[in-house]
């Protein structure tokens, strides 16, 4: 349940619903109060809401629970920095880097903290900067979406672009105040009604006009006044530099859209040209680089893709771009590195790149690519290590140690043989025998099952598996295993002896000839078996068992059903039911 609440919190955080994320993490903490990751996640959500005091408390709890976890000090540094305590932030980031010197997030945080510590005290923003800062908070989107006069703006791409530009550069707000939509949003954020030119009051220096004489107004005149258009607000004046910048950004967006269209049509050369032109117009939007990198992947130009991704990360750090954009650049770089990988070692840098991307933003697609890269590395390692001749040599060494009853040494050589040739069922069978001698029944059972998976006709695998089940006192399962082996080798004496031993033990249980301790042990083990649990919760079987106690004649009729009889026999073998 804690994991489920955590997953909901992660999903809400990724979607930018920080309040909801904090609630889910709180629910998870209530269920698992000793889990340091939950406090770390809630600290991140609270910091995103600018509740830095609460974020600091959670970060401190994180490092208290897990003092050797570098990520906890990253949360601690971010909370201190949000509270304006740059010196404490520097100390926290340095502690984290002492644990993980290569952590990029900690390095970036330390750099920010040092800059903040070195910067002279300054007064709060004023003028356009102060107004622009109102657009930085997380409540911006919820306020716009909840107000009926502004909700529709979220569906207008040019308006969304304006908002993102103001978020990146608060002082640019003055460029967009001529847009009535921006004025409406500003009115909403300030919680005041900003008067339009047509509603402005006369200045105090001008005497009010004398009250007009009352006169009758015809309905026609009233209607004419109602339909008179309101005067439009006068446009704001822009400097030449601001006009040029706005025009360049508009031109860049146009080129990006043309590039996207060309990409969808698989006209990759044209897409490259458009994204390149977009970069020439505007180098403050790293999406042009990441989009061009995606095209290079499709064209098989992986080195070019990596160069663009590196530029995007570097430029994104300078611009303090959205962490999701940084993560996207790193993910695409990882994809290119995977494409270039020729050996298992080549996957290391790709895996490291995906891990860096996940520290920026835990995207499910990136996580999937990381898992695929790790699997590919493991498979390639096995292929590179594959050598059947050396595997046989290791198996023989294992056999010698087994004869000398040196089972741990035998296991070591059998394990090496499986690394050299993981498809040899004989080695799994031999290692299962070693585990059985050492009393490691679960490990032995796993090897015996793997042996039969590789070769279902390998008789020795059935004797190994049956013997382990017999030692685990799962006599009904052991008998099924021996009988399955006899289908492949009907005269095999080991399998026949195994069936006989199982029948003896099952009959003892039926006659009640086992001790109470042994009966209790078998019952406890049986109650953990999913198959037994299903039988006992089956409504039909519950009625059958009830008839055995209260209506013996009906019970005899039930036993004529082969399926019911088989289930009853399993319950008898497990010690749950006794036949008298």
C-beta atoms surrounding 497 within 10 Å: 13
pLDDT of residue 138: 58
Per-domain boundaries in the chain: 1-118, 245-384, 522-579
Overall CATH class of domain 245-384: mainly alpha
Q: How far apart are CA 450 and CA 465, in angstroms?
A: 10
pLDDT of residue 52: 84
Band (pLDDT 50/70/90 cuts) for residue 127 is: very low
With contact defined as beta carbons under 8 Å apart, do 444 and 436 qualify?
A: yes
Who's near 271: CB < 8 A, 6+ residues apart? 259, 260, 262, 263, 291, 292, 295
Looking at the structure, give the CATH architecture of the domain made up of residues 522-579. Answer: Orthogonal Bundle (1.10)
Who's near 190: CB < 8 A, 6+ residues apart? 134
pLDDT at 206 over 50: no
Q: SS3 of 406, please?
A: coil
Residue carrying structure tokens 């033990």: 505
Q: Which residue has the higher pLDDT, 387 or 517?
A: 387
**108-120 tens-digit pLDDT:** 888 888 888 877 6
Its sign, for the CA torsion 552, 557, 560, 565, is negative
With contact defined as beta carbons under 8 Å apart, do 165 and 249 qualify?
A: yes
- What DSSP letter does each residue of 249-306 carry, written as one string? HHHHHHHHHHHHHHHHTT-HHHHHHHHHHHHHH-SS-THHHHHHHHHHHHHT-HHHHH
pLDDT of residue 544: 81
pLDDT at 194 over 90: no
Q: SS3 of 423, please?
A: coil
Its sign, for the CA torsion 107, 109, 110, 114, is positive
pLDDT of residue 556: 77
C-beta atoms surrounding 405 within 10 Å: 9
With contact defined as beta carbons under 8 Å apart, do 430 and 398 qualify?
A: yes
pLDDT at 232 over 70: no
Nearest 5 degrees, angle CA 127-CA 199-CA 221? 165
pLDDT-above-70 percentage for the chain: 83
pLDDT at 416 over 90: yes
pLDDT at 573 over 80: no
pLDDT at 214 over 70: no
**263-302 tens-digit pLDDT:** 999 999 999 999 999 999 998 899 999 999 999 999 999 9
Tokens of 211: 């009250």
If you average pLDDT over residues 53-61, what whole number do you get? 90
Tokens of 441: 């029944």
Listed in sequence order, the DSSP H helices in 455-492 are: 459-471, 475-486
**130-176 tens-digit pLDDT:** 555 666 665 677 677 777 788 788 778 788 877 777 777 776 676 77
With contact defined as beta carbons under 8 Å apart, do 55 and 39 qualify?
A: no
pLDDT of residue 21: 86
With contact defined as beta carbons under 8 Å apart, do 354 and 373 qualify?
A: yes
Q: 492: which DSSP letter?
A: -
Within the chain, what is the greatest distance between any pair of CA atoms? 124
Q: Please indicate whether the domains covering 1-118 and 245-384 agree at the CATH topology level.
A: yes
pLDDT of residue 243: 77
Q: How far apart are CA 177 and CA 167, in angstroms?
A: 14
Tokens of 544: 């059958």
1-118 homologous superfamily: Tetratricopeptide repeat domain (1.25.40.10)
Q: Which residue has the higher pLDDT, 284 or 211?
A: 284
Q: How far apart are CA 341 and CA 407, in angstroms?
A: 39
> Which of 501, 468, 470, 498 is CA-nearest to residue 483?
498
pLDDT at 465 over 80: yes
**515-565 tens-digit pLDDT:** 777 767 766 776 777 887 888 888 888 888 887 777 777 777 777 788 888
Q: 173: which DSSP letter?
A: G
């Amino acid at each position: 349940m804690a994991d489920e609440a955590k997953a909901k919190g992660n999903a809400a955080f990724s979607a930018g619903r920080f309040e909801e994320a904090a609630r889910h993490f709180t629910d998870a903490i209530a269920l698992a109060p000793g889990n340091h990751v939950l406090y770390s996640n809630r600290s991140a959500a609270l910091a995103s809401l600018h509740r830095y005091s609460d974020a600091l408390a959670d970060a401190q709890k994180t490092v208290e629970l897990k003092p050797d976890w570098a990520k906890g000090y990253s949360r601690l540094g971010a909370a201190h920095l949000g509270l304006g305590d740059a010196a404490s932030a520097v100390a926290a980031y340095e502690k984290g880097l002492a644990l993980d010197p290569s952590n990029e997030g900690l390095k970036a945080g330390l750099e920010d903290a040092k800059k903040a510590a070195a910067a002279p005290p300054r007064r709060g923003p004023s003028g356009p900067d102060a107004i622009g800062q109102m657009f930085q908070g997380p409540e911006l989107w919820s306020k716009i979406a909840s107000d009926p006069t502004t909700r529709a703006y979220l569906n207008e791409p040019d308006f969304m672009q304006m908002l993102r530009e103001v978020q990146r550069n608060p002082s640019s707000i003055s460029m967009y105040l001529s847009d009535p939509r921006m004025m409406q949003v500003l009115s909403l954020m300030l919680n005041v009604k900003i008067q339009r030119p047509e509603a402005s009051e006369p200045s105090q220096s001008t005497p009010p006009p004398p009250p007009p004489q009352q006169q009758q107004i015809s309905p026609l005149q009233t209607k004419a006044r109602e339909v008179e258009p309101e005067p439009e607000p006068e446009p704001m004046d822009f400097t030449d530099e601001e006009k040029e910048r706005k025009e360049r950004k508009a031109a860049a967006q146009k080129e990006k859209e043309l590039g996207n269209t060309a990409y969808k049509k698989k006209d990759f050369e044209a897409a490259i040209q458009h994204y390149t032109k977009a970069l020439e117009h505007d180098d403050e939007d790293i999406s042009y680089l990441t989009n061009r990198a995606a095209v290079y992947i499709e064209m098989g130009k992986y080195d070019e893709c990596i160069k663009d991704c590196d530029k995007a990360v570097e430029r994104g750090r300078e611009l303090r771009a959205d962490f999701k954009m940084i993560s996207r650049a790193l993910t695409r770089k990882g994809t290119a590195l995977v494409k270039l990988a020729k050996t298992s070692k080549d996957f290391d840098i790709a895996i490291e790149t995906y891990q860096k991307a996940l520290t920026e933003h835990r995207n499910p697609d990136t996580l999937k690519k990381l898992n695929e890269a790790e699997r590919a590395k493991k498979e390639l390692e096995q292929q590179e290590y594959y050598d059947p001749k050396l595997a046989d040599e290791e198996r023989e060494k294992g056999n010698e140690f087994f004869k000398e009853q040196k089972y741990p040494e035998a296991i070591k050589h059998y394990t090496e043989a499986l690394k050299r040739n993981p498809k040899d069922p004989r080695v799994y069978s031999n290692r299962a025998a070693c585990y059985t001698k050492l009393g490691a029944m679960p490990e032995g059972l796993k090897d015996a099952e793997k042996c039969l998976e590789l070769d279902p006709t390998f008789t020795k695998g059935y004797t190994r598996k049956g013997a382990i089940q017999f030692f685990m006192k799962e006599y009904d399962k052991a008998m099924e295993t021996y009988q399955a082996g006899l289908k492949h080798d009907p005269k095999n004496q080991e399998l026949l002896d195994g069936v006989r031993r199982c029948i003896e033990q099952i009959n003892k249980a039926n006659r009640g000839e086992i001790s109470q301790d042994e009966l209790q042990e078998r019952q406890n083990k049986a109650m953990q078996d999913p198959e037994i649990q299903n039988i006992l919760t089956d409504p039909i079987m519950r009625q059958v068992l009830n008839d055995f106690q209260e209506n013996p004649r009906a019970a005899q009729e039930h036993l004529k059903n082969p399926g019911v009889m088989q289930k009853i026999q399993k319950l008898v073998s497990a010690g749950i039911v006794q036949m008298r």
